[in-house]
Amino acid sequence: MSTKFDQNKVLWEEAVPGGCHWSGLMRRGTALRLTDLQGAANVSMLLYNAEEKLERYNMPDTLKAQHTAYLTTGNVCYSDMGRVMASIIDDRVGWHDTVCGLSDAELIMKKYGPSDYQSNSNAMYRNAKDGLLVELSKHGLGKRDLVPNINLFSKVIADESGTLSYIEGHSKAGDFIDIRFDMNVLVVLSTAPHPLDLRHQYQPADVLLTAWHAGLATNEDVCVQHCEQNKRGFINTTRFYAS
């Protein structure tokens, strides 16, 4: 079965405004296309096993297993149990940050000035940490369940001294990433700015979510074949669902 995006297999579609947050269940064999609608989007993402939320995305294992510091086509997201939770089957952005974490209320206040619901209503300046905590609370999770996240659409590089630099204009309007879910996964998202975003105005981009039936990975899948460890990770996931 082809895992390429097929408009005829779309299940639902929803836009998440810039600065807002979203969570939902993505079942094994479905996929989610995230599209940057205005350019310079950032999506902070966390992943949890929907049936046992103590199992969740593990950044160190994901990076060391695939010998990388960023994610793109062919890479997968490992859980702390060595299973493949999700895999990137197509990517028009080319680099997604894995190490810079989340914006919080203090950072947003410092960069953009004061803004709250009483003064600005729904136009208030939101931060990623609080947005993710709101979504986590809907599923019985909280602060202790915040783990290192992925920042989709954002690129950050390090120089020889280890100094991190945010790359402006990395994602363009219309760029997208397709993520297939290889387990039943609780997905938690925030579209608030990246913590290293250089812009002086608060203007996070809207992101379109499009879910569709992608099917399960085959032996020839780009993510299975990416490296030997991925083959073992997919075997672990298959055994978890064996009946």
Domain limits, the chain: 7-240
Query: 7-62 pLDDT, tens per residue?
Result: 889 999 999 999 999 999 999 999 999 999 999 999 999 999 999 999 999 999 99
Q: Which of 92, 90, 91, 72 is nearest to 221 (CA)?
A: 90
DSSP secondary structure code for residue 121 in this structure:
G
Distance, in Å, from the CA atom of 42 to the CA atom of 192, rounded to the nearest integer, reads 7
CA angle in degrees (0–180, nearest 5) for 47-51-57 = 20
Q: Which of 241, 225, 215, 236 is nearest to 66 (CA)?
A: 225
For the entire predicted model, the pTM comes to 0.96
The CA dihedral of 132, 138, 141, 144, to the nearest 10 degrees, is: 30
SS3 26: strand
Query: Given a cut of 80, is residue 2 above it in pLDDT?
Result: no
Three-state secondary structure along 3-20?
A: CCCCHHHEEEEEEECCCC
Query: 167-200 pLDDT, tens per residue?
Result: 999 999 999 999 999 999 999 999 999 999 999 9
Cα 115 → chain centroid = 26
pLDDT band at 117, cuts 50/70/90? confident
53 phi and psi, to 5 degrees? -70, -10
Query: 77-101 pLDDT, tens per residue?
Result: 999 999 999 999 999 999 999 999 9
β-bridge mates for residue 91, sequence order: 177
